[in-house]
Structures are given as C-alpha cells and as structure tokens.
Structure 1
Amino acid sequence: MAGNQRYVFLDHNNQFVADQNAKHTYSNVMRSIHSSLFTENTIINYLVELTACWTIFMILSGTYLLIKKHLISNKSKALRWQKWHAMIGVIIAIPVFVLVLTGLPWSGFMGSKIAGMMDTNGDLGQGELAINPPKSDLNELPWATRKNKQPASSEKGSSGHHGNAAMPQTKLDYQISIDKVVVQAQKAGIKKPFSIVYPSDKNGTFIVSNTSNSGVTGLDVSPYKEQTLYFDQYSGKKLGTIKYDDYGIIAKWFTWGIPLHEGHLFGILNKIINLFVCIALLVAIGMGFVSWIKRTKNTAVKVPHRVKKTSIYITHNMFNCIRTINAIIWIITYPSIYN
C-alpha cells in the first residue's frame, strides 16, 4: 500500500529475516493515540495540542486563585480539598510546564511554526549547513549520463515518514555501495549506532547521523554526541559535518527536550519522574473535582459564599475536564512511548 513505512530486519549477513508495518507496532500505535487519539486527524491533533498548551494557563490561573484565597495558610476544614489541590499543583507546576514546552517541537501547529523559524534562521536551528545541505558532485558521473533523469520510485512499496516518500527505491547508477558509506562514516569518526539516509535524487547525499531522539530503541546517543555527516553519493567524499556545538538555541532545546519529554534523557530516573508528575497531575485534578462537588452540595458546613465567580475561575474549572482526559491518555500511553 502506498505511503506505508516498513521496518525490515536483516541478519549479520545482510539476509532478509522479516518486515513489519511501522504503523502497527505497539509503540507507534501509542504514539498515535498520544498525539491525535489514533485518528491521525489534524484537527484532533490541534485540540490535543491546545489542551496541553492550556495547561500553562491553568498553572498561572491556579497560582492566582491560590494567592487570592490564601489557601496555604487557611485552616478551614471545608477548604482542605482545595488546599491539597493547590499544594500538589504548586509542586508539579514547573515539571508540567517543562513537559508542555518540550512537547511542542513535534506538535501540529506550534511545531511547524518552530521548525519554520529554524529553517529560515540558521543561528537558531542547526546552522547554515542544515538549511542548505551540500550536494553530490555530478562530475563524478559519466558525462553521458549526467543529464539523465533519475529512476522513478515505484508506487508499490514506496515509503516515507509521515507520508512523504523521499528516498528512491532504485539504486542510482554509479552510486557507491552502502558498505562503502559505512566505512567512510567510521573513518570520519562517527560511532555506532548510527542511521543512514539515502540520497533522494542524483544531487543528494548520503546522510549519516547519531541522534538523541530517533524514536528507535538502542539507537539514541547523548545530546552532546549528536552529529550529522554528509557524503558524496558517487565518490564517498565527506562534504560536511554538523555537531551539537554548531546548533542554535532552539535546536539545542529540541535536542535535550525531546528525550526529556519521552523519558530517556537520563535513564530510568527520567521515566520515574515523568510518571510521578503525571500521576500527581491526575490526583490534583481529582481533588479539584471533589472540591467542586462538595461546594455545590448543601451540607451542614458550607464553604464561605463566593461573591463573584470571575472569568478566570470559570475557565479554570471548564478546562479541568479537558485536562483530565488528556492526562489519562498521557499516563496510558507513556510507558510505551519509548519502547
């Protein structure tokens, strides 16, 4: 089926063992639920993104209500649920804020805006070399074939990330072998594990990289060790290198933020902290809901009458419902996000 990405497994002799539709793996199914509720619909993705971003407003409005009502110092038993709700919220405010900011790079709306800003400004992104990558030297091709149109990929079996098929399925004439690319990459100092991207046309290059956020178990390296190398597809000559030190501030944020968000930046401790924050968020939401229920009931001990429900107060409670749904989805999908 056109547009499907597949994982192909080879043994140590480069013999085919098995293949798998990437979309149907457990971790990728969970990623799809995490980002768009398994619909792969842009509108749903935007709504999930909006809910996540609105958490920032919830933190700010909750802090405002906490200060205004003096909840921490208030000894009233009638307000104990609100007090616990507020205290937990204060404790996890910064971690939740960080989770939201580190999740934005691959979101639908903000992610595209951030990527566009990086693409137009090398000082913020991965540098000028990433914006204008080097090209293979066509002089390495025989003169008679330099003007030839590259072989077209057959639609059947074509693949690409997010539906954009970029790599040709047919090896170009006079292109060096993948084995030579590996040798040249290792000579250039890159260490395993690394990924290799084939040229997309006869002007393209082999791209060999170490990355901290590949999404493939066992392939990631420390952000400091990230590097991308470009090799001429005809001669094997190294054309350029981009390392972590060459990144701009936004690219460095991406490089650290994505593995931090996914929970594999500093091992199992990262996973435990992320999971704790998510559970604490659910508990805080639950306590806020109980507090609201108790306030609406006619009990013997009533909460002091609220003079006026401000727009901040109303909006804060309205989005609690949306945030609860998002938090539950997050905690269900989190254990598999990086499996």
Structure 2
Amino acid sequence: MLGEDQLSDTRPESSKEWKIIEKTMLQLSAEQRRSRRWGVFFKLLTFTYLFALLYLFNVSGDGASVTKGGAHTALIDVNGVIAANEDAAADVVVQGLRGAFEDKNTKGIILRINSPGGSPVQSGYIYDEIKRLKALNSDVMVYAVIGDIGASGAYYIAAAADHIYADKASLVGSIGVTAAGFGFVETLDKLGIERRNYTSGAHKGFLDPFSPEKEEEVEFWGKVLKTTHNQFIGKVKEGRGERLKDNPDLFTGLVWSGEQALELGLIDGLGSPGYVAREVIGVENIVDFTPKPDPFEKFTQRLGTSIGSAISNSVVNGVMKLQ
C-alpha cells in the first residue's frame, strides 16, 4: 500500500500535466470572453450603421424644420424618374397630394421637384389630379419648387402649379418628346445571324432594332411623337398662360438655368422650399406628406432591387419619354 505522501504526489492537481491543461483551459476561456466581447461590439457597430443609413434615407433634404400639428405647409416630393413603380410614380405623388388637400391645417402645398422627367402618361395623371384637387379646394395654392432639375415630364407636372420657383442654377424646361433606340441590322449581317421575327399585322414589329427601317413607319412614329409633344405644349400653355414669353425656342426641347427660365416666364421666382413656405405661403412649419415605404423595405430596395431595376430600365429601347 502507498503512504499518504506517496498518494499526494500522484494526484492530478499536483502533476505537471494537469497544470499545463489548467493553464491552457484558462487561456482558452479568456480568449472566448474576448471573442464574445468583440462579437458584441461588431454587432452593435453593424446595427448602428444600418440605422444610420435608414435615417439618412428618410431625412428631409431641404433643411427646413418638419413638425406635426397645427397650421402647416404641406410638402410632397417628386424625386427621380417619373415612371410606374418608382418613387415619383403617379400613384405615389397623387396619394400625397390627396392627403395634403384633405388636411384642414394645410395652408399651402409645395411640390419639391428634382427629376429629369419620364413617362408622359404618369406626368399627365399627376397634372390632371393637381388641377382637379385645386378646383375642389380653391383656397389652397400649389407651388412647384425645382431643385437641381425639373425637366420634361417634371416640368409638365410643375406647370399645373399656381406658381413655380427654382434656384438660379436649376435646370428647367426641356419641353419635348423623345423615343430612342438602336439599329443592329448590319451587325447581324456581318455576324451571319438570321433574324426571325414572326408577327401578325403589317407594322407590328416596326420598333424592332434588328429589322431595317421603313420610311412610312418612321413617318408614322414621328406623327405619334408630334402628337404627344403638342399635348405637352398645350398643358404648359394652359398652366402658365400669359406668363410665357414669345420665344421660338421655348418648346424645342432646350433646357435653361433658373435665371433664364425666369426671363422666359417658365418660372415665377427664385427660392427654395423653405423660402416659399416662410416668405410666400407664410407658414414656416413644413409637414412632409410624401408617402414613405417601409424603412427596411426601402433599405433593401436601395441595395438590391433598385439596382436591378435601374439596369433593366437602361437597356429598354423605344420607350417614349418627355424631353
């Protein structure tokens, strides 16, 4: 039998191997604690970053205070390309307009425009709805305020307002229509590719970029564009009236600076949304009536879906746009 001293020497606690294991375990435990702390830190940092992005996406860019309650100036954004399923779609803008007109505390409405234009159909819907709502609420005036650009379809919308303002360096006008595309007929011939396009109707494929143009179809398409252009001109004249100056270049598709637009009668003054609310409407308190999507949905769209949509839109040919 082993004595007491001999037993103590064989205990794991006193062995060198156990001490090494114990030291290793302590080091691993400390390392795990450090990893957890860093993990929590980076998670918090990520969430802070995401919430900051969401805030930036939803913050007003005018610099004017936006508060709720009491007498106010209503604000609706027309931002980006005017097209279905975009931020400046007719359904979105009209929803904001109806909400602003229905609010009894609304003393004036500002359309804050920053758009190069887009669909004549969407622009026409918004124009007509502004006119309809104004007829029902004659005591509430609508002011269009152009930021960086208010061209083509965006100016179409602005023309429905009672008064239009812009910055001296804003781009204003571009009253015209365009329908651009490409022709790849000779390219196919060089590559030895045979085009097969089956249609029913003599002119069904007249916008096909892989088929040669026909003189009568080009003439027909020109008439369609001319008709749309005349509709655009008619709406501008209806909205602006005698304020428009007699200038042969006014409806040629040219774009002017804010200062030039003021001289031509395309706008009524120079100023920002904050200026118009404060000095023209007389109610500095601004309430944003622009319909907003769910913040998380908007964030994911900005990172993913909107990119794909932009790429898709950029390659579509033959779509008519106001310009």
Pick the structure with more strand per residue. Answer: 2
TM-score bracket, normalised by the shorter chain, equals under 0.3
**TM norm structure 2:** 0.23
Structure having the higher Rg: 2
TM-score of the superposed pair, with normalisation by structure 1: 0.22
